Amino acid sequence: MTFFRKIFLPAAVFLLITVIFAVATNYVQRRINAIKVTEKLTDTDPVDNAPPIVAFTTVALGSFRGIVADLLWLRTISLQDKGQYFEMVQLASWITKLQPRFTGATAYLAWNMAYNISVTFSSPEDRWRWVRRGIELIRDEALNYNPSDPVLYKELGWIYQHKVGNIMDDANLYYKNQMAVELMDAFDGPEPDWEYLVAMPDNEEQFKKHFNEKAPVWKALKDSEINSLDALEKEFRSSARLPVKFVEKFKDPAEIKFVESYLRKRLLKAKFKLDPVKVVQINNKYGKLDWRLPEAHAIYWATLGIEHQTTSEPDVSCERMISQSLADSFKAGRLLVFDKNNFKSLMLAPNFNIVDAVKKEFEDVYERQKSKSFVAAKENFMVDAIVNLYTFGKYKKAEEYLMVLRKEFSGNPRYLKNIDEFVLKEWIEDAKDGSMKQVMGLIDGMLYQSMNFLAFGDADTAAGFEKRAHAIYIYYEQSQSGSLKRVGLKPYMEIKMSIIQNCLSNLPKPVSDSLRASLEEQKVLNKEDKGTPAKDIPL
């Protein structure tokens, strides 16, 4: 009995505990392995497109990469707590290189820079630097290592849609302006000829099939002392323009356009990861988008996110991003006024080309997702669309959409009013509760209508539209008096003069001349310069 108690019983207990621990360890290990696979913390395959430093670290450090990455994470947290941010750019890049498959970490690092760090700075320039770095971390690094990860596409699209496209950040106009500056430089204007870019070669091998070895382009390269296509591309990427010395030697306008478009296509794909083929597909599906604005890029990346999904059903967050960005593009999807030296002059206008595509997108997403939230979103969009269409003089389309609402929501007395009564009520509600984009669209549309009526000699109707625009402007500014720095509008006369200049530039010449004469008669324009507002302008 003593032997049993002293030897056998403890041994049995020890054995039982060992078995329990073995079973528990096996279970925990299987759970850890599953998490490692799910979160892509194990690399069984080589990382595609990896630069030499990434390829080296993934092989040479092996399992110790995780320990090094953890130390870098601790360093990152410590620096952020101390407000020392600049080293974090390099640390984020190193963490991405050490754990190229851990896309959740990269998404967080990008979000942290674009959101948390950016708002600690007061100047728009500093804020934009961090927002752009967040974009670049995903777009230029993480997606290069993980081109098939839908999470990265979704997170990148979200930064464009919410951080750059929304108005929650005081510096949002600066973000939009800087984005437009960079893209217009790469586009060499408001937009490139996307269809022509699609037809361009993708690489030097295809380029040489168009230009044989005796083609003048090679002599022009040699005579301009550039010597190779690679050297020409390097110079082109520094300025987004062909070197003058090369153009002077080449002289064939059609072939110059071909060479320039080939290099521009490669620049857009390399720097902004914009594939002209995908851009054309999106434009064909939804209507022509303004690719200088963040909403178009949110749609682009969300579309790629859906295409790279492994599940049979499209991701609802990507579908919601597309539908919301389309709705925002309809409200303010055209860059109307732009000055790279004065970001506050930026003015957006509705994109009426996509109105039917937005409505159809909400309907299609509902059929796939069966979520009632998309029905409500469609209804809200159509109400906004009716107001914008009516405000900008597209009465037939506005009434068509009101009839659709009346049919689909037959029990709602709100839609039983005639078009004039309906829009008038919505105008009041928008001025009371609307976002800055909605109110700006409302004011722009009314001023645009005012200029059109004035051009055609109906001064009374023109005055009515402007009076309504000015009243809404005053009402909105008063209602937002505590948030004017973030959501305040530009001075009323600045908005009005921007619309006037746009009308004078874009209306047919006889209409433009008539408008100019009426404005001069009202002393809204000085006759000497045709564009400076007079001092005593009646509102």
pLDDT tens-digit profile of 363-410? 999 888 888 888 999 999 999 999 888 877 788 999 999 999 999 998
The one-letter code for the residue type at 220 is A
Instruction: Supply 446's token pair.
Output: 């009314």
Write out the DSSP string of 443-474.
HHHHHHHHHHHHHTT-HHHHHHHHHHHHHHHH
pLDDT of 45 above 70: no
pLDDT of 520 above 80: yes
pLDDT of 423 above 80: yes
Q: If we measure between CA atoms, which residue out of 291, 287, 321 comes closest to residue 304?
A: 321
Residue-level pLDDT at 70: 74
Within 10 angstroms of residue 170's Cβ, the number of other Cβ atoms is 15
Beta bridge partners of 4: none
**For tokens 């948030």, what's the residue?**
483
pLDDT of 13 above 80: no
Range ranked top by mean pLDDT from 425-439, 474-488, 500-514: 500-514
Residue 124, classified by CB atoms within 10 Å of its CB into exposed (0-12), middle (13-18) or buried (19+), is buried
Start-to-end Cα distance in the chain: 109
Phi, psi of 195 (to 5 degrees): -65, -40
pTM over cut 0.85: no
What does the pLDDT average to over 47-57?
54
pLDDT of 476 above 70: yes
pLDDT of 473 above 70: yes
Within 10 angstroms of residue 423's Cβ, the number of other Cβ atoms is 22
Provide the sign of the torsion angle of the four alpha carbons 406, 408, 411, 412, taken in this order: negative
Within 10 angstroms of residue 172's Cβ, the number of other Cβ atoms is 23
Instruction: Supply 508's token pair.
Output: 């047919």
User: Which range (21-30, 204-213, 365-374) has the least confidence?
Assistant: 21-30
pLDDT of 176 above 50: yes
Instruction: Supply 182's token pair.
Output: 């960079």
Calpha distance 177→193 (Å, rounded)? 22
pLDDT of 64 above 70: no
Residue-level pLDDT at 539: 32
CB 328 within 8 A of CB 437: yes
Phi, psi of 52 (to 5 degrees): -55, -40
Residue-level pLDDT at 262: 97
Q: Which percentage of the chain shows pLDDT scores above 70?
A: 86
User: Which range (57-71, 133-147, 316-330) has the least confidence?
Assistant: 57-71
pLDDT confidence band for 44 (50 / 70 / 90): very low
Length of the chain: 539
Calpha distance 399→389 (Å, rounded)? 9
Phi, psi of 525 (to 5 degrees): -120, 140
**For tokens 């630097």, what's the residue?**
129
Neighbouring residues of 504: CB distance < 8 A, sequence distance ≥ 6: 512, 515, 516, 530, 531
Instruction: Supply 433's token pair.
Output: 């509760």
**For tokens 């597309």, what's the residue?**
322
pLDDT of 320 above 90: yes
DSSP 8-state assignment for residue 411: T
What does the pLDDT average to over 143-147?
87
**Which one has a higher pLDDT value, 355 or 439?**
355
pLDDT of 352 above 70: yes
Neighbouring residues of 364: CB distance < 8 A, sequence distance ≥ 6: none
Provide the sign of the torsion angle of the four alpha carbons 112, 168, 141, 231, taken in this order: negative
Range ranked top by mean pLDDT from 44-48, 219-223, 279-283: 279-283
pLDDT confidence band for 14 (50 / 70 / 90): confident
The one-letter code for the residue type at 341 is N
Instruction: Supply 470's token pair.
Output: 């000015």
pLDDT confidence band for 508 (50 / 70 / 90): confident
Count CA within 13 A, CB hemisphere, residue 75: 15
Largest CA distance in the chain: 120
β-strand pairing of 334-337 with 347-349: antiparallel
Mean pLDDT of the chain: 84
**For tokens 């290990």, what's the residue?**
29
Calpha distance 405→388 (Å, rounded)? 16
- Cα 309 to chain centroid distance, Å, stands at 21
- Alpha carbon separation from 524 to 40, 282, 493, 517 (Å, rounded): 64, 42, 10, 10
pLDDT confidence band for 535 (50 / 70 / 90): very low
Range ranked top by mean pLDDT from 352-361, 476-485, 487-496: 352-361
Calpha distance 269→325 (Å, rounded)? 22
Instruction: Supply 78's token pair.
Output: 């410590």
Q: If we measure between CA atoms, which residue out of 476, 402, 397 comes closest to residue 437?
A: 476
pLDDT confidence band for 57 (50 / 70 / 90): low
CB 402 within 8 A of CB 390: no
CB 124 within 8 A of CB 169: no
b/e map of 175-201 (b: 16 or more CB within 10 Å)? bbbbbbbbbbebbeeebbebeebbebb
What does the pLDDT average to over 341-365?
89
Beta bridge partners of 533: 525
pLDDT tens-digit profile of 178-207? 999 999 999 999 999 999 999 999 999 999
pLDDT confidence band for 129 (50 / 70 / 90): very high
Instruction: Give, for 347, the enclosing helix (H) or strand (E).
Output: strand 347-349
pLDDT confidence band for 291 (50 / 70 / 90): very high
Residue-level pLDDT at 59: 58
CB 297 within 8 A of CB 135: no
Q: If we measure between CA atoms, which residue out of 204, 186, 7, 40 comes closest to residue 106?
A: 40
pLDDT of 141 above 80: yes
Calpha distance 269→291 (Å, rounded)? 14
